[in-house]
Amino acid sequence: MRDMRLRRLHVRRLAILLLLLLTAVVSAAETGGEPDLEVVRVGLEEEATLSIWNRPITTFRAQIGFNPPHRRAELAAERIAELSQRQLGGIVSVQDATIAGVHGYMVMLDTTTILSLVEEDLESAPEESGSAPAAALEGYANQAAAQLREVLEARARQQRVPVLVRGAALSLAATLGLVAWLWVVVRLRRWLLNQIAKLPMNLTGKRIFEIELGPQLIDLQRYLARLLAVLLGLIGLYVWITFVFSQFPYSEPWGYSLGAFLVSIAHRIGGGVVDAAPGLAMVAAIFLFTRFLVGVVSSLFAGVERGSFTVSWLNPDTARATRRLLVLAMWAFAATMAYPYIPGSNTDAFKGISVLLGLMISLGSTGVVNQIMSGLVVVYSGAIQPGEYVRFGQVEGTVSEVGLLATRVETPRRESVSIPNSLLVTDATVNYSRLAGAQGVIATTSVTIGYDAPWRQVQAMLIEAANRTPGVREEPAPLVRQTSLADFYVEYTLLVRLDVPQNRLITLSELHGHILDVFNEYGVQIMSPHFERQPENDVVVAKERWYAAPARREESQG
C-alpha cells in the first residue's frame, strides 16, 4: 500500500513538472512580439551573424562606410524589430544597387531596406568557388531574403491565436501521451524484475573458472532491466520535447534540430547494425562451431577420466588437465579468428584497449604463468594424484585436488592446506601411497637404548610392540636395524608395514604406546632424553603404575 502511494506521488510530481515545462514553452512563444536578437562575432570584428528567432539570416564580413560587420547586423536587427504586424505580410525582394561605391544587393521588405550585402561579405572569393562574382553575390542575397521571409512568416503566425491554441492543445495531448508512456515503462520495468526474480533456480550451477555465475547473472539482468527502463523514459521525454517545440513558430528551429539529431542517430545506429551484421554473423558462427568442438572434446576426455573407455595416447590421470588446456587453446584460437570480424575492431580506440589489456596481462601474469607451468609439471609427471597420502615439508595428509595453480592437501587434523605448485616442483615430496601396493606403506620409528641392554632383546621387544599394534601388517614382518652406535646408547630403527597410509600418524602413535609398555614390562630403560650420568636404578615404570590416576584402563592404548 505504501509503495502504491509513493508511485502515485511520483506520477503526480512528474505530471506537474511536465505541465510547468509546457507552460514555460507556451509563455515563451506568446512573448514573441519582440524577437530575440543574436549577434555573433568571430575574431576581432571579422564577421557577425544576424540571427532572429533562433533562425540565422545572413553573415556580414565587410565594413561599409563607418559600420563594421557587427554594427551592420545590429542595424538590420533593429529594422526587423521595428516592423509592425501589418508589415510582416509584405513582399521580400532583392534589388541590385551600388552601396558606398561598391556593387551589391539590397534585401527589401516592400519599400523598406532591411540589409545590404557586398562581395566582401561572401565567405570565399568568387574565383575560388568557381562562379562569377555577381552570380555568387546574388545567390547569397537570395538566400538571406529566403531566411528573412521565413522569420517574418514565423512572427506573423506567432500572433495568430488559432496557431497558439492548436500548439497548446497538441502539446497537452503529447504530455498526456508521455505520462502514459512513462506508466507503461514503469510497468514493464516491474514485470521484468519479477521475471528475473524467478531465474535463480534455473541459473544455479553455472560456473566459469570455479566462479558461481548465478548471483552475478541475476544482478546483471536487474541492472539491464533498470537501464532499459531509464533509456525508454529518456527517449519518450526527448520525443516529447521535440514535438512540443515544433508546435510553436518561435521554437520550431529547436524542434527541427532535435528531430534531425534523433533521425541522424537512428540512421547511424541502423546503418551501423546493417554494416556490422555480416561480421556479427561470422562471430556467431565461429562461437557456435567452437562450442560444438569443445563439447565433443570435453565428452571424450570426461569419458577417459571416468574410465568409460581407454585411449592409447591419453592417460586417465592427466585427462582433466589435458582437457582444460585444449579447451583454453580452442577458445583462444576462436577469439583470434573472430577478432577481425568484431565491429569496431579496426578503430584506434579498440586497438588501444587491446594494447592496454596485453600490457596488463604481460605484467601481471608472470607469477600466474609460473604457477601454471609448475602445475603442468606436477600433473604430467604424475608425482602426486588425488587420494594419495603424501608429506611435503611440515604438511602431511591426503591430496584432495591437483590444480593448475595449487594443490590442496587435507591433513588428519581436518585442515585444508593449499600448496603452490611452484613449491612442489622445487622441493621434495614424500608419497606414501605410490609404492604401497599389496605390501603396504613403510613407516619407521627409532629408540635409543643403553649398551647394557642386549641388542637381541631390544629387537624382540620392538617386534613384539609392532605385533600388538592394530594396522601393522604381519606380512611382510616388521624389521629392526641398529642404525647408530653412539657414545652412550645404541639407536634402533623399527620398520613396519601399514595397511592404510592415511592412518599413518594414528598407527605410529599407538605403536609408540606399545613400545613404552613392552620396555617397561621387561625393565629396559629408554635413553631418550639422554642422561649426563647413569642413574642408580633403571628408569622404567612398573606395570602396577601404568594406569595411575587419572588414567583409566579403557582409555589406554593397547
| DSSP state for residue 345 in the 8-state scheme | T
C-alpha neighbours within 13 Å on the C-beta side of residue 430: 12
Query: Mean pLDDT lowest for which of 39-43, 230-234, 238-242?
Result: 39-43
Higher-confidence residue of 2 and 556: namely 2
Higher-confidence residue of 254 and 216: namely 254
Task: Share the mean pLDDT of the chain.
Answer: 77
Give 68-82 pLDDT, tens digit per residue.
Answer: 888 888 888 888 888
Q: How many beta carbons lie within 10 A of that of residue 50, not counting itself? A: 29
Burial of 546 (0-12, 13-18, 19+ CB in 10 A): middle
The whole-number pLDDT of residue 184 equals 92
* Distance between CA atoms of residues 347 and 355, nearest Å: 12
Give 489-526 pLDDT, tens digit per residue.
Answer: 889 999 888 877 777 888 888 999 999 989 888 888 88
| 66, pLDDT greater than 80 | yes
Domains of the chain plus CATH, in order, are 37-158 (no CATH), 284-368 (no CATH), 369-431 (2.30.30.60), 437-555 (3.30.70.100)
| 289, pLDDT greater than 50 | yes
Instruction: Count the residues in the chain.
Output: 558
The whole-number pLDDT of residue 558 equals 40
pTM summary value: 0.47
Higher-confidence residue of 183 and 316: namely 183
Mean pLDDT of 18-29: 54
Give 128-146 pLDDT, tens digit per residue.
Answer: 545 567 788 888 888 888 8
Report whether 95 contacts 106 (CB < 8 A): yes
Higher-confidence residue of 290 and 371: namely 290
Residue of 451, 400, 452, 392 lying closest to 423 (CA atoms): 392
Sign of CA dihedral 235, 236, 237, 240: positive
* Distance between CA atoms of residues 558 and 468, nearest Å: 7
Point out which residues pair with 409 in neighbouring strands. Answer: 399, 417
* Distance between CA atoms of residues 15 and 174, nearest Å: 12
Provide the percentage of residues in the chain whose pLDDT is more than 70. 73
Mean pLDDT of 163-169: 84
With the CA atoms of 65, 66, 69 and 70 taken in that order, what torsion angle do they form, in degrees rounded to the nearest 10?
-150
User: Which DSSP helix (H) or strand (E) runs through 223?
Assistant: helix 214-245
The whole-number pLDDT of residue 427 equals 73
The grid coordinates listed for 502 are 592415511
Report whether 258 contacts 238 (CB < 8 A): yes
Confidence of residue 312 (pLDDT cuts 50, 70, 90): low
| 31, pLDDT greater than 60 | no
Q: Which residue is associated with the grid cell 605385533?
A: 467
Give 234-285 pLDDT, tens digit per residue.
Answer: 988 888 988 888 888 878 788 878 888 878 887 887 777 787 788 888 989 9
Q: How many beta carbons lie within 10 A of that of residue 246, not counting itself? A: 20
Beta strands in 451-499 (DSSP E): 479-485, 489-498
Q: How many beta carbons lie within 10 A of that of residue 549, not counting itself? A: 5
Confidence of residue 30 (pLDDT cuts 50, 70, 90): very low
